Structure formats: structure tokens, C-alpha cells
Structure 1
Amino acid sequence: MDWHKWHDRYDSPESPLARRLLMVQERVRLALDDCSAGPVRVVSVCAGQGRDLLGVLPGHPRRRDVRARLVELDPENVALAAEAARAAGLDEVDVVAGDAALLDHYEGMTPADIVLVCGVFGNIADPDIERTIDACTQLCRSGGRVIWTRNRKDPDRVPLICEWFEGRGFEREWVSGQEQLQAVGVHRFGGRPVPLQPGVRIFDFVGYDKLRSAG
């Protein structure tokens, strides 16, 4: 999969992914609005070109409060995200080239106020989805939010994802309607963060097409 070219789908306004991006950006905007005064930490897992956050932060009144780490493996996407952050003067946005499944990449940034897990759950197997949700108890602070996405193609895993979050102390704040092929959800953490465990790998990125063909 050419993950750089894959992002072109966001540029087609009527595509499901373009609509998903707008929903995610709105939820990021609302989450930033609701953050307490002072520093705000954001981490993004499999950040791609960083559009989820970088499409919001330059014009947001909290931009100077935000310190963010975007973790992405594809070198072209890393370069584009880093350039977008530089162009917007977002000096506290760090774009890391690395495997987002390794918790080591989030050291020093957890627990975060906002955790973005977008474009991940549709590309990993169910046990790894649950493992990633479990790891969100390490990534997210008490009162912080996880903003996540998952397609609703058969089998629709959105109800199960909600169940897994809610079984780990997260409260469902918002989930997009069933009419949206690309679902977006927000869960707020009501528990106490678990210390980060460096050296732990939380998922293997398989890819949607390979998962479908294997099923």
C-alpha cells in the first residue's frame, strides 16, 4: 500500500474519508476547547500526514498551549506532516518517524489530554484492537479523551470497540451515527492512568485489504 497516495482520498470532498476527517477535526476542536488552562498534551498514533490535528491547531486559540507528538512510519507522510507543522509555526509539534505500535515513542508525553487513534482499528486484527484500547489507559490522563475511528463494514466492530473502552474506565462521550460508513468515536477516561510500559508492542499493522482477504 502506498500510504502517501492513500491520503489523496481526503481531497475528494464527498468521499467517506473526507467526511471522517471533518468529524475528527471537529472532535479535536471541541476537545481542545474543553481542556483546562495550561499545557495540553496530544499524541497521535499512526498519524499519517497529521491532518487530524494540523487541520485544527493553527487556527485554534489554544495552539500555543499544545505540545504534540505525531508518530508515523511512512517517510513521505512524516516529511509532509513535519513541513506542515513548521509552516504553521507549531514548534511544539514533534513528528516522529517510527512504528506507532511501540509504546517507547510516547515516553515523556503521557498521560496525554488527547489521544488520536484514527485509521488504526480498521487495519489491525480484533485482539490487537483490544490490546490498543487497553494501552490507552497508559496514554490518556484521567479526564482526557481518546478520539478514534473505525469503518462500519461487515462485521461492524464499533459496538465492540465501545464495549472494550467502557470496560476499561472510559465513558462514551460521542459516536457518529450508523449512517456514516466511517465511524468516529470519543471516549473520556474516568480511571487512573497506568504507567507507560516501554518496550511493549501493542499491535501489528496488517492493512484493511489483507484483513478482508484473510477473513
Structure 2
Amino acid sequence: MTRDWYGWHDDYDRPGSPLARRLTEVQRLVGAALDAAPPGPLRAVSLCAGQGRDLIPVLAEHPRAGDVTARLVELDPRNAEVAAEAVRAAGVTGVEVLVDDAARTDLYRDLVPADLVLLCGIFGNVSDADVHAAVRYSAALCATGGTVLWTRHRRDPDLVPTICDWFAQAGFAPVEVSAPADGVGVGAHRHLGTPRPLPSGVRMFEFVAGA
């Protein structure tokens, strides 16, 4: 049975739900990443961006919003339209919403390496092998000193410690990772290495049922 990714967003509006708590943490970390970014133009990409709730509300109130050029990629056109309307309402002119398969590397070649990369809502819906692959591709998506934000549930078997190891192997250092007791996995990692070339014509991951 195919999941309704539009209806899936309803839990964001339920106070205390795991998604609502996750969103609060992600938005906080987005703001912190923008606060810590060096002066000048900033680039951001959000893969599987949904309705844009991770990034757009933060930009709407952040003093660095005018410095940001961002691309949000979302396959569901209903979610993408909500995100586009949020962009218009927030008046953040540097943000583009694109309806497409966010796993395709070709969608990001003109915006990477980026200062902020959002991989939220992905790691719990793909195979472990594709989580590892996405982490490796992060070293091409993210600029030196840039931040990757990611999410993953903490259900057994808890993959979060392994994901942190994979980020370390890819040249990232942890900024903040939620504790198991928080019930939601939210991580921020900073890229310390030199960005790798982003290959053309590659799909970085694939959503699978029950991942």
C-alpha cells in the first residue's frame, strides 16, 4: 500500500507527536546552522522537502534569509504546492520549490557544494545500504564547513550510532545528535573535508516499504 505523503504531514500539527517534536529540533538546528555560517551568500538544498516546514518558517524569521539561495525538491505535487505557497507567504525570494525525484544528483549540480543540506524524512524510509550511500553523497553535496541535518527514528535496531560512524568516515564531525531518550533521531554534522565531485545521472537512494 502506497503511503499518502500529503496526509503524513498531519502529525506535524498534533502537539507532542513525534513528528512535531522532530520538527522543533530540526528548525532549531537550521537556525543554529544559519547563525554559525560565515558572512556572504549561502546555498541550501532540501531533499524530499515535503511541505518545506523544516526550512521555510526558519528563513521567514531569520536575519540571514536574504543571503540564502535554496532549492527544495519534493516528488508529491500537493506537498510541493504547499511549500511554494509558504515561500510566497514568507517572502523569501531566494527559495525554489521543484517537483521531482529528490534522489537524482542532477537536480543539485548548480547549487552544490551547499552550506546547508537537509536529509530529513529520508533515512527511515530507505534501506540501510541507501542510508550509507546518502551519507557518502553528502560529502559531495555539502561544502567544507557546511552542515548536514538528518533524521531517523530510534526504533530497534537503532541505526543512529552507525549513521554517526558513517558520517565520521565521510569526513564529518558531529555538531549535535539527539539522545535515545528523546524518542526521535535528529542529527547535525559539519563537513570538515574537501567536497567530492557530485556524479551525474545517479540516484542516491530509493524509498522502500517498511524500511
What TM-score do you get using the length of structure 2 for normalisation? Answer: 0.97
Instruction: Tell me the amino acid that sits aligned with residue 100 of structure 1.
Output: A
Structure-to-structure mapping, 1:35-184, within 5 angstroms: 35-184=37-186
Aligned length: 209
| Match status 1:202 vs 2:204 | yes
Identity %: 54
Q: 1:191 — aligned with what? A: 193
Instruction: Tell me the amino acid that sits aligned with residue 25 of structure 1.
Output: Q
Whether the aligned pair in 1 keeps the contact of 2:40 and 2:67 (CA below 8 Å) is: yes
Deviations 1:122-177 (A, max 9, x none): 00001100000000011000000101000000110000000000011100111011
- Using the TM superposition, give the Cα deviation of residue 187 of structure 1 relative to its aligned residue in structure 2, in angstroms: 0.6
- Using the TM superposition, give the Cα deviation of residue 5 of structure 1 relative to its aligned residue in structure 2, in angstroms: 0.7
Runs (4+) of structure 1 moved beyond 2 Å? none
Whether the aligned pair in 1 keeps the contact of 2:142 and 2:191 (CA below 8 Å) is: yes
Residue ranges of structure 2 left out of the alignment (5+ in a row): none
Whether the aligned pair in 1 keeps the contact of 2:123 and 2:151 (CA below 8 Å) is: yes
Rounded to whole Å, the distance in 2 between the matches of 1:182 and 1:120 is 14
Backbone CA RMSD of aligned residues: 0.7
SS at match of 1:146: strand
SS at match of 1:199: coil
What TM-score do you get using the length of structure 1 for normalisation? Answer: 0.96
Rounded to whole Å, the distance in 2 between the matches of 1:108 and 1:141 is 13
- Using the TM superposition, give the Cα deviation of residue 89 of structure 1 relative to its aligned residue in structure 2, in angstroms: 1.0
Residue ranges of structure 1 left out of the alignment (5+ in a row): none
